[in-house]
Chain A
Amino acid sequence: MIIELKDVKKEYVAGGEKIEALKGVNISINRGDFVAITGSSGSGKTTLLSIMGCMETATEGDVRIGNRDVDTYSDREKSLLRANYISFVFQNFALMDKYTAYENIELPLLNAGVKRRERKKRIHWAAEQLGIKDQLEKRPREMSGGQQQRVAIARALASSPQVILADEPTGALDVDNTKKIMEILTDINKCGTAVVVVTHEKEVAAYAKRTIRMEDGCIV
C-alpha cells in the first residue's frame, strides 16, 4: 500500500464560514494503480490530492503513506517524501520561469540529496523518456504548453517516485497534447509507478484502470 486514507475529513474556515471539503473519504492507492478522480469543481478532488501529497493535513481520519501514519512524520520527512516518494504534476505545469528545463527537473533531486553525476544521469533519462532532450537548456516561456507539461512530468519522473499525483495535467492542453501526455502517464504506470489523476474530462479518466467519482466532499 502506497497511500491509504481512512474516513478522512477536511474542514476550512473561509470568510468566517466553515466549509467541509472532505466528509469522510476512504481510498487506497497500491503499487501499479492508475486512478482517476473525477468530479465537478468544488467537489473536493484537489483537496484530496493535496492531503495524499502531504501538502495539507486532514482535520480528522487516518492518512498512511508508506505504511506509516503521516502524523508521525516530521516536516522534514514530509518534505523528503515529496522529493522522492510522491511527485506532482500540475495543470499550470508549475515550472519556475527563471530556471531552465534542466534546472526545473533537477529541483526534487537536489532536495533528495542525489549526487551531481546521478542527477545528470536521471535528468537525461527522464528527458529522453519524454522526448525533450533538446529542450533542456530552454526556459519554460520558450516552450509550448505541451513541452512544458512534458518537462513537468520529467521532473515528476526523475526522482523515481512510487506515485505521481497529477492535478488536471491536461487542463491547459489541446486534444493532441492531451493524448500524448496521457499516453506518457500510461507508459510510466506500466513501469510500476502508481498514477493518480484528478480530472473532470471523461477522455482523460478513460486511461485510468480505476475511476473514483467525487461529489460534495464524498466518494460516490
Chain B
Amino acid sequence: MIKIFILNILRNRVRTLIVLGFSFFSFLTCFYFATNIINNYLQVGQLGAYFGESSSDLYVLKEIYVEDDASAGEDINYTKETIKSHKDILAGGFEQTDAGIDELSVDWRDNYNFIFTDPEYLDIIGFSVSGAELLPFVLDGVTYLPAFVSGKYKDIFEKDQIYTIDRTGAKIIIKGTIENEKWLDGFLDGKTRVVDINDSILVSFPDVDKTDNMTQLSTTGCYYIKGNVDASLVEEIEKTGDERNIKYVLDNVGEIIREQEARDKDTAGFQIKLAITVLICSALTEIAIILAFIFLGQEEFGIKMAFGNSKKQIIAFTITEYLSIMGLAFILSFITENKLISNEQEYMRAPLKSTFYHWATPLVLCIVILTTICISIPSIIYIKKYNPCEMMRDVT
C-alpha cells in the first residue's frame, strides 16, 4: 500500500509540484501575517499590562529640538527637577546601556547590560522592586547605589557585594535578584516592545549621569510623568525648555497605546484580507489542477478498482496523498518563516519566535487541515461518482 502511495506521488510529480508550490506560498503568507498580526496584538496587550491602569493619566516627555548639545545634560535635568518639585507628580525615566565592572571586566569589551532608572519610575509601572529599595545611600562618605540583578547575572554577582561601574566610578551594591520581569524596550512609539530583562542589572542613575549629555538625551522619550498633568504643568515644562532652548512635547501614554492598537488593527485587517485572498485563490487553483489531473487519469481509478482497490481505499489514498503534500508545504513554509524571523533584528526575534511557535503554527496547522479538506472534497465527490465500468464501456 505504501509502495502504491509513494509511486502515485512520484508518478504525478507535475501535479504534486504545482500543488506543493501553491500551498507553500499560501501557507507562508499565512505564517507571515499570522505571526505579525498576533505579535502586534500581544505586544500592545503587554504594553497596556506594563503600564497598567495608569496609562490614561501617564505622560511621556519627549524632546524634539535641542539647540546646544553640550549643555543638554544640565538643561534636561533642570526641566526634570522642575517637574519633580511638584508634590502631586510622580516622574522618572530610564536608560538601557552597557558598562564595564572594574572588579569583573577583563577588558573594555567585557560589558554588562545596565538599566539605569529614576527610582520613581519603578513606582509608576508597579515593578516587583519598589522605588524606595533603589534609593542611594551614603556610608562613610561614599554613595552606594542598591542594585538588583536578573537571571543571567545571578551567578556572576554576589549579594551584598560592592562593584564599581568603570565609566562613572559609581559604587553599586547587590541587594537582590529580579525574576521574569518585563521592561520597555526603548522609546515609546509605534514599534515599542515589552521585553524580558533576563540579562540586566537594575540600578538608579549615578549623580554624574544626571547631568551627562548623552544620558539625559537618551532618557527623553523614556521619561514618564504621572499625576495631575494640567495645563499649568505643561506650560511650566515648556517654559523651562524655552529658557534652555529645548523644545518638549508631552504625549499621553494611553493615547499612544490606543493609536498603536488602531494602526495594528488597520494593518491586521488588510493582512487578513490578503491572506484569505491568497489562500482561496491558491486552493481554487489547486482544486482545478487536481480535478484536471483526475479527469485526465480517471481510467487509473477503474484499473485500480478492477485489480483489487475499493473506492474507499482510493479515497483514503487520495486524502493521504493531499495531506502529505500539504504537510510537506507546511514544513517548508515553517522552515522558511523560521529563517525569516531569524534574520530579524535581535530585539524582534524573541517575541516573534514565541508568537510563531505558540500561536501562528497551531493556527496555520488548522488552515492546512481545512485546506486539505476543501481540496479533497471535489476529488472525493468525483471518485465516489466514478463507475469503474465506464472503463469497459468505453471500448465495447
Contact = CB atoms under 8 A, between A and B. Distances in A.
Q: Which among A45, A79, A171 has the highest number of chain B CB atoms within 10 Å?
A: A79
Interface string A3-36: 0000000000000000000000000000000000
Q: Which among B4, B306, B389 has the highest number of chain A CB atoms within 10 Å?
A: B306
Contacts of B305: 55, 79, 82
B125 interface: no
B393 interface: yes
Given A56-B389, A168-B395, A83 B7 contact: no
A111 B7 CA distance: 14
Contacts of B391: 90, 94
20 contacts: A45-B396, A46-B393, A56-B389, A79-B305, A79-B313, A80-B308, A82-B305, A83-B308, A90-B306, A95-B303, A98-B11, A99-B7, A103-B7, A107-B4, A107-B308, A108-B307, A110-B3, A111-B307, A167-B392, A168-B395
A88 B306 contact: yes
B354 interface: no
B4 A110 contact: yes
A21 to B, nearest CB: 10
Interface in A56-103: 56, 75-76, 78-80, 82-84, 87-88, 90-92, 94-96, 98-99, 103
A92 B394 contact: yes
B210 to A, nearest CB: 79
A87 to B, nearest CB: 8
B324 interface: no
A55 B310 CA distance: 10
Interface string A90-131: 111011101100010001101110000000000000000000
A55 B396 contact: no
A163 interface: no
Q: Which among A110, A112, A167, A198 has the highest number of chain B CB atoms within 10 Å?
A: A110
Interface of A: 41, 45-47, 49-50, 53, 55-56, 75-76, 78-80, 82-84, 87-88, 90-92, 94-96, 98-99, 103, 107-108, 110-112, 155, 167-168, 171, 198
Contacts of B310: 75-76, 78-79
Contacts of A56: 387, 389
A55 to B, nearest CB: 5
B123 interface: no
Interface string B284-318: 00000000000000011011111111111100000
Contact of A46 (B387, B388, B392): B392
A94 B303 contact: yes
Nearest to A119: B3
Contacts of B304: 107
B106 interface: no
Nearest to A42: B396
Instruction: List the 6 closest pairs (A to B, CB-CB), nearest first.
Output: A83-B308, A111-B308, A98-B11, A79-B310, A108-B307, A91-B395
A198 B307 contact: no
B7 A82 contact: no
A41 B392 CA distance: 13
Given A84-B308, A96-B300, A110-B4, A50 B392 contact: yes
A98 to B, nearest CB: 4
B28 to A, nearest CB: 30
A82 B395 contact: no
Contacts of B1: 110
B309 A111 contact: yes
A108 B308 contact: yes
B306 A55 contact: yes
A171 B395 contact: yes
B143 interface: no
A186 to B, nearest CB: 22
Contacts of A112: 308
Contacts of B7: 99, 103
B275 to A, nearest CB: 35
B82 interface: no
Given A75-B312, A79-B308, A91-B395, 6 more contacts: A46-B396, A47-B389, A79-B313, A155-B307, A167-B395, A171-B395
A84 B396 CA distance: 25
B281 to A, nearest CB: 29
A98 B8 CA distance: 9
B306 A96 contact: no
A110 B4 CA distance: 8
Contacts of B396: 41, 45-46, 91, 167-168, 171, 198
B389 A55 contact: yes
Interface in B8-39: 11-12
A171 B395 CA distance: 9
A75 B3 CA distance: 22
